[in-house]
Amino acid sequence: MIQKMTENEQQRLFGEWLKTHKGLFFKVVRAYAFNPHDQEDLFQEIATQVWNSVPNYRGDSKVTTWIYRVALYSAIAWLRKENRHREKLKKIDGYGEALLQASTTRHPRIEWLYDQISQLEPIDRSLTLMMLDGYSYKEISATLGITVSNVGVKLNRIKKRLTEKSNEETHHGI
Amino acid sequence: MEFEDMKVIWDSQEKAPLYAMNEEGLHDLLRGKGRKFRRLIFWQQWQSYLSSLFVVLVIFAILGAHFLGAFNEPGELAPTTGWDVMALLVAAAYWIQFAVSIYIGQKRQERREREFAGTLLGDVDRDIEQTRYQITTRRNIVTGFIPPYVGACLIQLVVFRSQGLSEWTMVPVIALLIFCLIVESRSQQRLVDQTMHPRLRELETLRAKLTDPES
């Protein structure tokens, strides 16, 4: 029989995940939202979905791939209803900001990379983030639910595109 | 620049993260949202059950009064007949059937949703299934509402009769109920056309993009 998780356990586990994998949250936010308001909104959305998903985590997969799956799908779903979210942001402003800008100085190479990612299709952004974070084709395939060969085809195309872009845009100092 | 160089650039952001977190603010937000969400789900689930329970209790109160002989006392109320009792029992059965069908529908949907794989594609498939379920439910809303509406008409009929009113006074009530049903059906259809179908198309496109290597 499946035991129901208490809210305290949920909070403890979520706190741990947030502490250990906050970089993952930030990368997804940065790849899918492009101004501070949207980033705040998306961060809240991802945090909420990950929080809701905690009781369903059974340990069958790595915590990072679980968080990635939830965060990526939240981001893709958030993109679809962006306008509605803008309205919602006004309503949840009362809670204060959950995401703070840590640094105003941005590394131009990382900025360039995020710019390139932002120009990709939402699904391709998911693949790119996982690829850059060093996940294998097999892990990406298991997280997204598509075949390994499909992942390979898509990633080869993305890699080719990114390489071509970087060669074209030398003025970015890369 | 090759992909391996991009990977090095990418990994360098771990040293200086772009954001910081207001953990306390986030936990306040999540607790607040959680409470709101649980309240919403609770009321959505219980609205239909409570209204059905209320109607059934009213019916049994009338039946109780009938069997205790309250309607046989000389006064303003006409005595209830065997047909009235039958009409009330049928009305109660319709309302119970309404609540049970909602309960069964929800349980079936929950079971179906658990069957989807814990992957991004599984999430998309689950949302497609949810949207299709919503479309079907909202399209069939008229059929679903007929039993409680008929039940309401039967109760009205008994109440009107016990007050000595002619059966013809039921006509405007029935017309009003039919009008409400048509308005409800139209508004659900509009919701399906304007929100659900575009959402379904978007999800199906997303699924195609995810599964098609060439897209």
Beta carbons of A125 and A118 less than 8 angstroms apart: yes
Residues 6+ apart with CB under 8 A from A98: A40, A43, A44, A47, B21, B22, B25, B26, B29
Of A142, A139, A161, A141, give the one whose Cα is nearest residue A151. A141
Chain B from 13 to 42: CB within 8 A of any A CB = 13-14, 16-23, 25-30, 32-34
Asked if B123 has any chain A CB less than 8 Å from its own CB, the reply is yes
Q: What is the pLDDT of residue A93?
A: 47
User: What would the pLDDT profile of A59-113 be if each residue is shown by its tens digit?
Assistant: 888 899 999 999 999 999 998 776 555 555 554 444 556 666 655 556 788 888 8
Q: What is the pLDDT of residue A85?
A: 52
Res. A135: pLDDT tops 90: yes
- Residue B36: in which H helix or E strand, if any? helix B23-67
Contacts of B27 in chain A (CB under 8 A): 11, 15
Distances (CA, A) of B6 to A108, A118, B14, B53, B129: 12, 15, 14, 63, 39
Most confident of A27-41, B10-24, B57-71: A27-41
CA torsion through residues B8, B12, B14, B17, sign = negative
Q: What is the pLDDT of residue A89?
A: 53
Q: What is the pLDDT of residue A88?
A: 52
Res. A131: pLDDT tops 90: yes
Which of A48, A58, A140 to mutate to test binding with chain B, by most B CBs within 10 Å of its CB? A48
Q: How far apart are CA B106 and CA A67, in angstroms?
A: 28
ipTM of the complex, rounded to two decimals: 0.76
* Mean per-residue pLDDT over chain A, rounded: 83
Contacts of A153 in chain B (CB under 8 A): 213-214
Res. A148: pLDDT tops 70: yes
Asked if B3 has any chain A CB less than 8 Å from its own CB, the reply is yes
Q: Measured between CB atoms, which of A29, A66, A132 is closest to B6?
A: A132
Asked if A119 has any chain B CB less than 8 Å from its own CB, the reply is no
Interface touch A95/B25, C-beta < 8 Å: yes
Res. B35: pLDDT tops 90: no
Q: How far apart are CA B49 and CA B71, in angstroms?
A: 29
pLDDT band at B19 (very low <50, low <70, confident <90, very high): confident
Asked if B166 has any chain A CB less than 8 Å from its own CB, the reply is no
Interface touch B23/A11, C-beta < 8 Å: no
By CA distance, what is A18's nearest residue in B? B23
Q: What percent of chain B has pLDDT over 70?
A: 93
Burial A79-96 (b: 16+ CB within 10 A, else e): beeeeebeeebeebeebe
Beta carbons of B87 and B62 less than 8 angstroms apart: no
Q: Structural domains in chain A?
A: 1-102 (1.10.1740.10), 103-174 (1.10.10.10)
